[in-house]
Chain A
Amino acid sequence: MKSMSPVHRLPDQLRNHKYRFYLAHNKIPVQPSWNSTTNYRYDELELASWHGNYGLVCGIGGIIVLDFDNMELYEKVVSQLPPTFTVQSASRKLPHMYYVLEGPMMKKDSIHDSTGKTLLDVQADRSGVIGAGSRIGLDEYTVMKDIPIATILHDTLRSVFGIMPKMPGERQSFPENKEVEARTRCILAYCNIKPTTHSLYQCPFHAMHGNGNLNIMEGSGHLWCFHENRRWNPINFMYAVAHHRADDKLHYVASIIQQELRSAK
């Protein structure tokens, strides 16, 4: 008996006219402009008659997929994320968590470990993810959690992963934010907190996990450890580091900067 094509096993959660699908061979889209014009609703003939793999165009209909490349990270964060429809990848058996993003759509984003290895891709605006039922050789993308697609907030992505979601077409940062960011980075230098990447630092209050856990929040310039979910304004952070290290000199510098800021206001 001939088995059903991957498209015919499209999960009910994705049978929604809001979503768009593309035709794929293994993981590769087979048509140009697959993420803009050459994609289909689940009930369109082009898709229904396709016997190969298929993918979901993320971003359309507000959908994003947390595409884990590391099982440890998934196990660590899954309890902090809303339970949602999840697909297991074919070859490496890693989870793809599907969400509807509340608020404006973001650009695709990633987090990496200290060696640059990808731990997670957030498949978002116009990126693709291969759907359940598709096959790579003998291995198949299977439904891991057959539950409705949950919604997720930008704030949740920020707090769990330290990702600062960027909107499509958004500038990296505005000039006024750059000054705030520069001041915070300067304070981190005073504290001798080492940068681990261009956007992350090693949190001084615990052992380093992954690629560093301390992030500068865009706009406010506040510091945020997404491992412990703690936030500080830069001066309070300086005081906390001084207290943690019993560093009186640093404490004094913090108090001077605080006075300067107060008098500037």
Chain B
Amino acid sequence: MTQPKDAGSQAESYFESILAKKNVMFERRVTIDYFINGIIPVEVKSCSLLKNKGNPDVAQLKYGNFQLNQEQHDSVLKENGWYCFLITYDDQSLLVGFLKANTLKRLTYSIREIALLKPVSLKEFTQQLGMSMGGQQ
């Protein structure tokens, strides 16, 4: 099994695996990470669950934050896209949930703040995906 190079690629591998389990088609693109079923843009954002504040000898830990990029955020907004928030901890990745880009008003969010924005689960996301696909067919 190939080991992910960093937390970002670890999260993306995890994202791809959960979509594959749900038989959701996706493709990678340059400006926005993924297009689901060719039309729904999803940008994957990940952060480490815990970070050391600096001194490796003293276990001063703090939670990671999700950082959005303004230019990229504008692209996702323009496409009426979604964000998928993932947390990495050691070699584990966990899904926090999916949020529409237009619900995010800042570029930095704590893990707690994202959780309190009531992100939708993978199940709800794929259901909504089905509805939006259905609406277009």
CA–CA, A12 and B58, complex, Å = 43
Q: Mark B22-59, 1 if CB is under 8 A from A, else 0.
A: 00000000000000000000000000011000000011
Main secondary structure of the interface of B (DSSP, over half): mixed
Interface status of B123 (Cβ within 8 A of chain A): yes
Q: Note all chain A residues with C-beta closer than 8 A to B50.
A: 185, 195
Q: Note all chain B residues with C-beta closer than 8 A to A195.
A: 50, 59, 61-62
CA–CA, A250 and B59, complex, Å = 27
* Contact (A186, B49) CB under 8 Å given A178-B90, A178-B91: yes
CA–CA, A178 and B49, complex, Å = 13
Assess the A189–B59 pair: CB atoms within 8 A: no
Q: Note all chain B residues with C-beta closer than 8 A to A198.
A: 59, 61
* Contact (A253, B92) CB under 8 Å given A190-B112, A198-B61: no
Interface residues of A (CB under 8 A from B): 116, 178-179, 181-183, 185-186, 189-192, 194-198, 249-250, 252-253, 256, 260, 263
Q: Which 7 A-B pairs have the closest CB atoms?
A: A182-B92, A182-B89, A190-B115, A189-B111, A195-B61, A197-B59, A249-B116
Interface residues of B (CB under 8 A from A): 49-50, 58-59, 61-63, 87, 89-92, 94, 96, 110-112, 115-116, 118, 121, 123
A-B contact pairs, 7 of them (CB 8 A): A182-B49, A182-B89, A189-B112, A189-B115, A195-B50, A195-B61, A253-B115
CA–CA, A165 and B35, complex, Å = 47
**Least Cβ–Cβ distance between B128 and chain A, in angstroms:** 15
Report which of B90, B94, B118 forms a contact with A252, defined as CB distance below 8 A: B118
Q: Which residue of B lies closest to A195 (CB)?
A: B61
Assess the A185–B89 pair: CB atoms within 8 A: yes
Q: Note all chain B residues with C-beta closer than 8 A to A185.
A: 49-50, 89
Assess the A186–B121 pair: CB atoms within 8 A: no
CA–CA, A116 and B116, complex, Å = 34
CA–CA, A250 and B50, complex, Å = 20
CA–CA, A250 and B116, complex, Å = 7
- Give me 5 other A-B pairs in contact (C-beta within 8 A), A116-B58, A182-B89 excluded: A182-B90, A189-B115, A192-B112, A197-B61, A198-B61
Q: Which residue of A lies closest to B123 (CB)?
A: A263
Report which of B59, B61, B89, B90 forms a contact with A186, defined as CB distance below 8 A: B89
CA–CA, A197 and B62, complex, Å = 10
Assess the A179–B59 pair: CB atoms within 8 A: no
Q: Note all chain B residues with C-beta closer than 8 A to A182.
A: 49, 87, 89-90, 92, 94
**Least Cβ–Cβ distance between A246 and chain B, in angstroms:** 14
**Least Cβ–Cβ distance between B123 and chain A, in angstroms:** 7
Assess the B118–A178 pair: CB atoms within 8 A: no
Assess the A191–B61 pair: CB atoms within 8 A: no
**Least Cβ–Cβ distance between B12 and chain A, in angstroms:** 17
CA–CA, A116 and B59, complex, Å = 9
